[in-house]
Structure 1
Amino acid sequence: MNIEIGSYEAKTKLPELLRGVQLGNRYTITLRGEAIADLIPADASQKTDIAAGVAHMQQLMTSYPPLLGIDTKALLDEGRD
C-alpha cells in the first residue's frame, strides 16, 4: 500500500511511519504536492535494483558481438602504468 504524506508531517511522525514500513506500508513523501522521496523497506528497493541491474548487464552482454583479436591482459597492464 502506497500512502502520500507531506514532508512536515513525515518529519513529525517519523517513528510512526517507520513502524508502518515494518508492516509493509510504503510512503511517498511530498514537498508542496510534488513527490520527492519514497519510504520503503530497505530490502525491497535493493532486491529490485540488483535484479534490474543484472538483467540489464545480461542484455548488454548478449547484444554486442565478442571482440576478437584484442589482448585484454595487455590493455589492463597498460592502464596500470
Structure 2
Amino acid sequence: MAKAIGAFEAKAQLSRLLRAVEKGERFTITVRGKPVADLVPTGGGSAASCLAAAEAMRAFPRVRGISDWSVAAFVTEGRS
C-alpha cells in the first residue's frame, strides 16, 4: 500500500523519496488531501508478479447466462 504524502513535503524530500522508491516503496502525492499522483518504482514489477496477476484474472469467476448485448445495455444504462 502506498503512503500518502503532501505535495509540499514531497517537494522538500524528493531525494529521500526517490531512494525509498528505489527500494520498492510507493507513495501517493496529495494536494489538499486529494490524491493526484503516485510515485512508484519504474518497470511495474517482475515477470513472476505479472504472471501471477494474469493467473488471478483467469481464475476470476465469469458471469454466465447473460448475453453480451445485455451486459452492454447494463453499462449504457449506468452511464445515464
Which residue of structure 1 aligns with residue 36 of structure 2?
Answer: 36
CA distance in 1, matches of 2:33, 2:3: 13
**TM-score, with normalisation over the residues of structure 2?**
0.54
The alpha-carbon deviation at position 40 of structure 1 amounts to 0.2
Q: Distance in 2 between matches of 1:33 and 1:7?
A: 10
Q: What's the CA shift for 1:2?
A: 1.2
Distance 2:7 2:44 in 1: 22
Q: TM-score with structure 1 length normalisation?
A: 0.54
Identify unmatched segments of 5+ residues in structure 2. Answer: 55-80
Deviation at 1:36, TM superposition (A): 0.1
How far off its partner does 1:39 sit? 0.2
Rounded to whole Å, the distance in 2 between the matches of 1:6 and 1:16 is: 14
Q: What count of residue pairs does the alignment treat as equivalent?
A: 49
Runs of 4+ in 1 over 6 A off after TM superposition: none
- AA in 2 matched with 1:5: I
Report the RMSD for the aligned CA atoms in angstroms: 2.2
The structure with the greater share of residues assigned to helix is 1
Instruction: Say which SS state the counterpart of residue 18 (structure 2) adopts.
Output: helix
Aligned to 1:3: 3
